[in-house]
Each structure stands twice: as structure tokens, then as C-alpha cells.
Chains A and B, each alone.
Chain A
């Protein structure tokens, strides 16, 4: 894509990598380098992922017995609230955008940094401030409203630290807004010469759409939390029906943010999967423009479906029909994406290294999650399954099976670019497969018990559901192992992993045209773009005839064999 020769010739006077440009703690905490900020975010979201994960572990442990064992009712309520608040706002929402988005977006568009580097740093500090508030809330005793903060329970009846938790989310919201603004402007003004909109990798498109959703939806969350705090702190009658307020108003405001938030969590995952599937099947993405329209369609229609969370909360039958209809409509572009990824494999040269295993796992889990969404979009079925484990399973399939799998796929795919080292692929493939089966083992039983009548957020439950809970908890143990394993071997690879080289997977995309890890300024010379994305093979020709020099760069772990290229002829 770039003038590769120019970069090669510049190798002699190669600048130090971003990791080596300044080694003091202060050089990290005051950095405005998007790559270092991405690493700061990696640190914080990993920390919160483990806190949220610890809460999940305790929940699964507690639910092994219908009577519970270790926690009081209040203790259990605080536990699942903590799990939800931390996983949603301190892991899932920031996860891919603030880490891979921050690291890769400028590289992928051929820029030196994001548009507002200092705003980018401020965003991390805001996220930390929110994180400290949430930790303070946790240490003081927690909050028991569920992550949804429904009024009037949260505003008038809860005895937890509601205001502290709401303030934490409020502050963290501004950090994502800052990231969103940064991404939008970066994509608009910092694209390299020749990088037209329809030459952008789909990862950039998804980051762009996500950023737009963040900027439009998050202020509504801020407003609803402010109103909630005003009622709780000062008794302003807003949601309290005794003073003419409307408790359902809060739900409307909350879901007006929180449904689009689902797409904030899952659109970036779509981007990741598109990059991985093309690279490992050595194939152009099937239907590039259709994919872009699907991304934009999801982002727009996603704003008009929030009412499907309130089918049983007192809604006119006409409104319910409209929301149900739109929920079906928004499922169409997601289905298109699944078909397009699948057909990208068609006539490819498919390699099954760890990132690809994660990506294939994503497609499987996302398909199940998406199809279960058809059930919850159907009025009569949703009336039965809403607030049950069916819904719990549904959104975990999307957000954990989908987004978290994609996060791990991205981690393994770009690990060589970020650290300069290759992860041991055998271990990585093993944990990817473990994650897929552990996940299904954990969450599939929840679909069944939900339909049979297992209520969400129940500490004690009817004994006939125990078998499902025990199965689910056993699966969770496997899943936990699959999440912990990468911590071990990735850390190991930092010291003992093989040097990656610039482009170990033989991928297209500007980020692979610079060194691994990249220098502070990303590129030695301003890259120029004169062709579209994913040119793994000439147009109209399947990859049997791809340019051979690109394939030779593809050098998977454990086989440093020069015979490889010969084998493929």
C-alpha cells in the first residue's frame, strides 16, 4: 500500500520504538502518544475485567445451591450490581475502542496521532476518576440496584451507595465521549493522502460509527443519571409517582442510551473480525460496501429500538408493535455481516492460527446470540422471557461470546504489532478453543432455564433449576481458565517470544507497513495510499493466484520453514 521501498531504505536510520521513547513513569503518565495511552487503557480495563470477573465467579459459586451459601440477600444483590456496572462501563464500553482503537486508528489511516492527543490523555484520567469512584463505592459497601438503576427503587428505596455509583458512571461517560470525539475528527481530517473513505479498513469504519453512537447517546445517560441523583440527594420529584413523577420515564431515558450502548460494545468487534477473517483466509472481504452500509444501518436504527426493553412495563400496544418491528429490522444488517464473513472464506487459503480461531468462535457465538434476539424482539415471547435467564444468556452471547471473543482475537492478532513479539500459537489456539466451549457450557443452559421460569437477579431459586445452575457454574470454571491462560503465555512472550518482524501475518493495512513496535511518530515517511483495502489477491481472482511475495510474509508460529511457500504451489 505504501511506498514500501521508501521505508526499507529508511531502516538504517530507524527511530526508536514508542516503547523505548522515554522510560520513566512520568513519561507514561503524561504521554500524549496514542499508543502509550492505549497501553494505559489496557492496564485499567484488564484490572476492571478481573474485578468484574471475580464478581462473576462469586455469583456462579453462590448459585450452585438454591439456598445460597456465602452471601446474604443484600450481599448477593451488591455482587451482581457490581459485576454489571464494572463489566459494562469499565470494561465492555471502553474495551476495544480505547485500546485497539486508540492504538490502531491513527496507524490505519496513516496519521501520526489522533486529532487531539491531550484530550486523549484526559479521557484516560477521566476513566480513572470514574474507576476510583466505583472502587470507593465497592469498598464502602456497594450498591444494590442492578446496573440498570431503575427508579423509584434506586432514587428512593435502595440502601446502597447509589449516588456514588451513578457518579462513577457519569464521569466515565465523559471519558468515552472524549474518545468518540477524537475518533470522529481523526477519521475526518487525518487520513493519509489517497486514503479515501472507501479505502478505509472496516475496523476504521466500525470505530467511526461507534464514536458517532457514543457522542450522540452518552449525553442522554448523563442526563438520566443526573436526574436520578437529583431525586435521591435533594428529593426533587422527577420519577416519584407520589408527586406526579413517572418511574417509567427513567427507563426510557436509560435505554435510549443503553440499547445503542450494545452497539458501542459490539460494532468494534465487527471491525476486528473483518480484519482477522480476511487476513487468515487471504481473501478480500466479501461485499465491502455492503459491510459499510450494514455498520451505518446498525448505528442509526439502533437508536430507535430502545422500547423493546419495556414491553411489560406499561406501553401502548401500538408503541410495542413499532419497537418490535424496528428490532427485527435492526437484526437484518447483523445477519448480512455473518453471511459476508462466511463467504469471505469461500475460495480462500485459510490459516488456522489463534486469531482466526477466536474469529470463527465469534461468528458461531454471535450467530446464536443474534438469533436469540429474534425471540426477545417477538412481543409474546419477550413478555415471557424478559427479566429471565433467557435474556441473561442472550446478552452474554452478544457481549461476552461476541465482544470479548473479538477482544481476545484482536489481542492475539495485533500483539506482535504492539509488543514486537509473537505469542506461542499452540497455547493461544488451545485457549481460544477452551473459551468457545467454556462459554457455551456456561451460558447455553441459561437459555433453557430462563424459558422454564428461572428469574434473573434471584439469589434463592426453586430447586428444579439447580441442575442448570450447576452446569453453568462448571462451565464458568472452564471459561475462567480460558481467560487466565493468555495472561500467562502473553506475559511469557514479552520476554521469550520470537521477534515478530513488521508483518508476521502478511496482512494488508497501513499498521503493518511500519515497524513492530512502531516508532513514536508511527511512520518514518508519510504513507500514501493508491489502492483499496484487503488486497490479498488481484481483483476478481481467488487467492490461488495471489501475489506470491505477500504470502511468503505469512510466517506462522512454530514453523520457520522456507518450504512453506513451495508447499502451497
Chain B
């Protein structure tokens, strides 16, 4: 096992930038933490839960997939050797689940080229990062079980570093890292994990609502009540680590230009509207139902990767929703309304 002094982390990241594009938390305007390219003067370890998950590293908000010239399609597959430093365990689970979805049956070259070129360095959480964290309920945190190349555990003055892959091991072969007694480190990590897990509140309603949805007891009226409030901003989906729906559109002039794909969401009315104007999900309630049932019921088992469902418990939809829907309020309301039944 290895460790690194906290004060050496900046030098570590600097080293990594020689070979990689390093994405990490930087404190920017208004003291907001933004996950982007390493900047020595802005880098911070005090970042809590970032308001965006890291899916844009693999699945950009918009991305050119073809350049088209005289109606000839030339694929544009962009990827760069990248290190994601400091992602949270819930984000790691989001990446695992999304990667499974994007590669099964048919592979998505745009996603997988970036996924394959990216090293994931998880920062285990010592406890909840804010009041909406519930990763212990969804089996997706506060530390990662798999998928990472490296995982850092905060021991105060230093980080203990768990290796998850060969690539990860190579990254910590430099002299900034100190060899330490493995047995001793394992004990410390186990204690960290135990304390961290206990600090995160369980949301038992997640499981009970999953069961209710499976049994079909939740009526459409319940969803329509939420639908009345929802302003269809799509925020919940765009911050969600496992929402990967997209739209495809052309930017063209005289047969040349580009074919682009960009984030889309089932919360939008046009998402399922057919050319005939028929819409199988005609109300905002039916669209909210879709989004949350996709997380809690209608996922593919194969994509779970050890998680409970395809909600990874990061709580971001609860953080961002301007009208206080979000998964937490939603499951609380449903379980309250259907308690006896």
C-alpha cells in the first residue's frame, strides 16, 4: 500500500498533467467548485459534492459525431488520455452503470473511446457531503468497490491510496508516494469505511417504493400531482450520473456541416412525440413517472454493477429541482401516500 502527503497532491497532479489531461475540482468564481482542467491556483480539496456529475467526460452535453462534406459522413471520435481526480463513489457507480448500458448489445464508439482513455481516481467520502446523500441505501458509496483505478482515503495529513488497476498502480510509482505497511493501512481504511458508512443516513423509503412500483400500486394520479409542479426544466436528468438520453441533430449548409448529439431528457414533452403528433406520454406526470420508474423499476439488471437500482444515491436531483421534487421528496411522498396499501 502507498500513501501521499496532502501537501504533495498538487505536485502529483502537476506530474500527471505531463501525460494526461487532468480534471479535478477547482474553486472558481463565487467559491463555486467546478470540475475541470487542473489549475494550480484554483485546485481545492475542499469541494464536497460537485453540483455536476462527471458524465460529460464521456458523454458531453453536445458532441460532433460526424463531419459531413458533400454528403460524405466522416466520423469524429474525440478522446484524450484523461484522469478524473477526486470523483465520488456515487459518480463511480454512475460511470459503471452508464458504461454497461452504453456498451451492451451495440457498442457506442463515442462513449467507449472516452471511457477507455480515462483513469478514474475516487475520493472516498468520510461522511455525507450534504443532506441529500444516501449512497449507502443504493449500495454505491461512500467508497467505491470497483471500477476505479485509484481510490484515496483521507487520513488527515495524508491520503492512503488503494490501487484498483494496473494503470492506477503505474500512476503512483513516483517518489511522491511512500510505501507503508499494508496490514496497518488496511486496518485504517476499514475503520474509515465503517465510520463513513454509519454517518450516512439510510433512506428506507427507496426500497419500499421500489417494491410498490414493482407491484403496480402507485396510481397515475400520484404522478400527475408531481406533474402539476414540474416545470420540465430537465435539471434532474442533466445532473444525474445515469441519465444518458440524447438527441441527434444536423447543423448543415449546402450538404456540409456536422451531425451532433446532445443531452435530451424524457421530461420533455417532445421526447416521445411521434411525427403524427401522437404522444404515448402525454402528460408531465407520465413523463416524471417514466424518469423515476427508469431509476427504480425499469432498469436492466445487467447494468446495476452491484448497485441497488439505477439511482446512485447522489441526491443531485433533490439538490437542483426548483420545485422540490427530486427523488427524496418523491419517495417520501409515495411511501406516505401508499403506506397501508
Tell me whether A and B are bound partners.
no
* Chain A residues within 8 Å of B, Cβ to Cβ: none
